[in-house]
Structure 1
Amino acid sequence: MSFLKSMTEQKKIKNAYRAGFVAAGVFLLAAVFCLMVLRALLMPVNVAHVNEVSLVVPRNASTAQIASLLKEKGIIKNAPVFRLYARMRGVDGKLKPGRYTFNTAMSISGIIDELVKGPPDRVKLTVPEGYTVQQIADLLEKKGIAKREDFTRALKKQWDFSFLEHVPVKEAGLEGYLYPDTYYLGSNSSADDIVEMMLRKFDSVIRDHNYAERAASMGLTLHEAVTIASMVEREARVESERPRIAGVIFNRLKLGMPLQIDATVQYALGKPKEKLFYRDLEVDSPYNTYKVNGLPPGPIANPGWPSLKAVIEPERNDFLYYVARPDGTHAFARTLSEHNRNVQKYQ
């Protein structure tokens, strides 16, 4: 009996060891699986197609709030994992507020490093040529650089620049005079700072090229020249055509013909449309150059130097019409019948 009892006890011990090994194996597999999942969640969102995102971390924001913002912007995959990792790193509560530029190729570790270090001293802002003030406002808000309402308020201020002395007060405010360029802003730059920087750049460009004087030699005020340049900017897709389009505008003005520029109608409508219809051409606005002769009250966009230059160095031609081709270039015509043939051909 003692021998059988001993064998039974040994069997129980073996079964217990076996069960323990199985449990340990299951635990180990579960731990490995959890580590793999955690590692995957810590990895960048997208390395193949990198998307740059600007983010403003508010003052006194908790790690949980920052994690939610990052997840909302698509910069991290999982907010709880971000919070857990920050706690494991011992930096919970040490993430600094400010304006950051992250991208989808950054790991959570890299993002936390940046947040612990604090915001960079400079933020890059590129304003494309031909943007309206509303498009600039959209850009600033999208990038988290300034709120739309703050930027709009800054546009209405009385800015002390000599070139603005004779600019008519317009609802758009400063349209045409915010020079499109790449700017580097301080992380705490305000909407006022941005507007002043763009106005200073415009002032520098026109001074360097004696622009007001050269416009005056053509019988134009600075405001008229910038207005024409803005139409050239919005109409031209190929830089080499800008002087030619400027020449067409001058030819029509000289003959007293309505300019009939689609871009001014787009501006009057307040939002871009892929295609204008006849009913759009009836919009009641001083910017509708199909209904109002002469120049509109002011610029319809913020032109870059190539368009500004085209106004003071226009091509001398006898074209009165042009129509866009599918490739973005234009077919120019001297007579209405020739223009109608081009319209049938390309539109």
Structure 2
Amino acid sequence: MNNEQERTGGERAKNTEPTEGRGRRPRMPLAVSCSLLILLALAGYAAFAPLRVPEGRLEIEIPAGSSSRAIGELFQSRGLLRSKWTFVAYATLAGEAQNLKAGNYEFFGRVTVPELVQALSAGKSNERIITVPEGWDLSDLGRYFEREGMFPAAELYAVTGAPPGTSQGRNPKPKPKDFSKEFPTLADKPPSAGLEGYLFPDTYRIFRDAPIKEIARKMLANFERRIDPELRAEIARQGKSVFEIITVASLVEKEIPHAEDRPIVGGILWERLRRGLPLQVDASVNYATGKRETPSAADLALDSPYNTYRVPGLPAGPIANPGLGAIRAAVYPERSSYLYYLSAPDGRTVFSRTLEEHNAAKVKYLK
């Protein structure tokens, strides 16, 4: 019995001695926990440690509809983040991933990920919104910028060139900046022609202190996107230039208010050009004079490359900035038997096949 007790006791003692496997099991969770804590600490440091803003000041545009990942990638590419994932993770954990607002933002000095998320969720952007309606010309745009207290029209014309109906457009005439190396759609524009027609009408988010050159560049980039490969291929197939298309589109934009009539008028203008007939577009005369009312007899006799009553072919260039509808009407005109049109006081477009019909329509609608 004593021997059994001794054996049993010995067995108990033996069983309580630590084995190799049993001795390491308690250490594994501890090692994993330490590793996780270290990783969390590093992640926290990456998220909260401030990063110096490149060159001390950075302006950045967050496009509409951007996800937190896309914004993180943008910030990382501009040097504001070490990793996009710190931004994504913090925005998600903070419950702000769906609240990040588009806009133009400005950052100074040093910033942290929480500060980036907070700025975008609060919409603290350094921006203003400008809206350029379809059919505005450079003089309209110049007056708008002056009215908004942004800068004088002369600064706009120094970049874009000046319309002929303004004092700057007569003498001396500023030479427009050359953006053709940046935007291929400008490649066939004559060097002497300004940017009239190419500043695409739209609503823009811009930095409050953005110089006019950057605003023009943003509008030109929009134009470049809108004249998509399909349109460019069709223009080339027709043997026309973008400059010619935009010139015709600007005439259509200024003359015709209703979208359904625009392809018909586009067809009339191209057919008159084909036959060698003068276009006789009142809006081109008003562009030359700077007036808004119906051209007078003296206006119609004006010696100007924009006076389509006197000069054959197209005017010297676009007379306004057309929208996409007018551009497509110039690219895809509707064939018809009409050669004449007029705009009635009620906004209707009245079409005629012969000069006699057209003169009768003028008596009926315009007298």
Residues of 2 paired with 1:274 and 1:297: CA distance? 21
Partners of 1:146 and 1:305 in 2: CA distance:
28
Cα distance in 2 between the residues matched to 1:170 and 1:176: 14
Find 1:292's aligned residue among 306, 311, 315. Answer: 311
Number of matched pairs: 227
CA distance in 2, matches of 1:237, 1:251: 21
How far does residue 210 in structure 1 lie from its aligned partner after superposition? 2.6
Distance 2:131 2:347 in 1: 23
Task: Tell me what 1:334 maps to.
Answer: 353
- Aligned residue for 1:150? 155
Alignment partner of 1:131 out of 132, 136, 156? 136
For residue 180 of structure 1, the aligned residue among 189, 193, 201 is: 201
Equivalent pair of 1:215/1:222 in contact (CA under 8 Å): yes
Partner residue of 1:219?
239
What aligned pairs does 1:311-330 form with structure 2 within 5 A after superposition? 311-330=330-349
**SS, match of residue 129 in structure 1:** coil
- In 1, the alpha carbon distance for the partners of 2:326 and 2:255 equals 10
TM-score under structure 2 normalisation?
0.59
The residue aligned with 1:75 is none
Contact 1:120/1:187, CA 8 A, preserved across alignment: no
**Helix, strand or coil for the counterpart of 1:244?**
helix
Q: Is the 8 A contact 1:212 1:221 kept in 2?
A: no
- Give the equivalent residue in structure 2 for 1:165: 187
CA drift of 1:344 comes to: 0.4
Question: What are the Cα deviations for residues 294-338 of structure 1, in whole angstroms up to 9, with x where unaligned?
Answer: 111211111000000001111110101111111111110001111
Deviation sequence 1:147-178 (CA, Å, 0-9, x none) = 3222222222221322222211336x111110
Q: Any runs of at least 4 consecutive aligned residues in structure 1 with deviations exceeding 3 A, and if so which?
A: none
Write the distance in 1 (CA, Å) between the matches of 2:242 and 2:276. Answer: 21
Distance 2:154 2:282 in 1: 29
d(CA) in 1 for partners of 2:177, 2:292: 30
Q: 1:244 aligns with which of 254, 264, 288?
A: 264
Q: Which runs of 5+ in 2 are unaligned?
A: 1-123, 161-175
Q: Give the CA deviation at 1:272.
A: 2.3
**Matched position secondary structure for 1:196:** helix
Matched, 1:192 2:213: yes
- Residue 201 (structure 1) aligned with residue 222 (structure 2): yes
Structure-2 separation of matches of 1:158 and 1:326:
41
Name the SS of the counterpart of 2:128 in structure 1. Answer: strand
Unaligned runs of 5+ in 1: 1-118
Alpha-carbon RMSD across the aligned residues, in angstroms, is 1.7
2:366 aligned with 1:344: no
Contact 1:268 1:288 in 2 (8 A): yes
Secondary structure of the structure 1 residue equivalent to 2:219: helix
SS at match of 1:124: strand
Q: Tell me which amino acid in the other structure corresponds to 1:309.
A: R
TM-score relative to the length of structure 1: 0.63
Post-superposition shift, 1:237?
1.1
CA contact (8 A) 1:175 1:301 kept: yes
Tell me how far apart the structure 1 counterparts of residues 333 and 274 of structure 2 sit (CA, whole Å).
14
Aligned counterparts of 1:184 and 1:326: Cα–Cα separation in 2: 36
Select the residue among 248, 262, 265 that pairs with 2:282: 262
C-alpha distance 254-281 of structure 1, shift in aligned 2 (>3 A): same
> 8 Å contact 2:273–2:279 — kept in the other structure?
yes
Matched to 1:196, the amino acid is: R
* Whole-angstrom CA distance in 2 between matches of 1:187 and 1:277: 42
Give distance in 1, aligned partners of 2:330 and 2:350: 20
Q: CA offsets, 1:207-227, max 9 Å, x none?
A: 2x5322211222211111111
Cα distance in 2 for residues equivalent to 1:217 and 1:203 = 19
- 2:188–2:241 Cα contact (<8 Å) kept: no
The answer to whether the 8 A contact 2:341-2:352 is kept is: yes
Q: Which amino acid aligns with 1:191?
A: I
CA shift for structure 1 position 120? 5.5
Match of 2:341, SS state, is strand
Amino acid across the alignment from 1:247: G
Distance across 1 between alignment mates of 2:188 and 2:358: 38
Q: Following the alignment from structure 1 to structure 2, what is the Cα–Cα distance between the partners of residues 168 and 327?
A: 38
Task: Tell me the distance in 2 between the aligned counterparts of 1:295 and 1:277.
Answer: 21
8 Å CA contact retained: 1:251, 1:318:
no
2:327 is the alignment partner of 1:305 = no
The sequence identity of aligned pairs, in percent, is 39
Deviation at 1:232, TM superposition (A): 0.5
Residue 297 of structure 2 corresponds to 278
**Does the CA-based 8 Å contact 2:271-2:339 persist in structure 1?**
yes
Is contact 2:255-2:343 (8 Å) kept? Answer: no
**Aligned residue identity for 1:177:** Y
CA contact (8 A) 1:133 1:301 kept: yes
CA distance in 2, matches of 1:168, 1:180: 22
1:139 alignment partner, SS class: helix
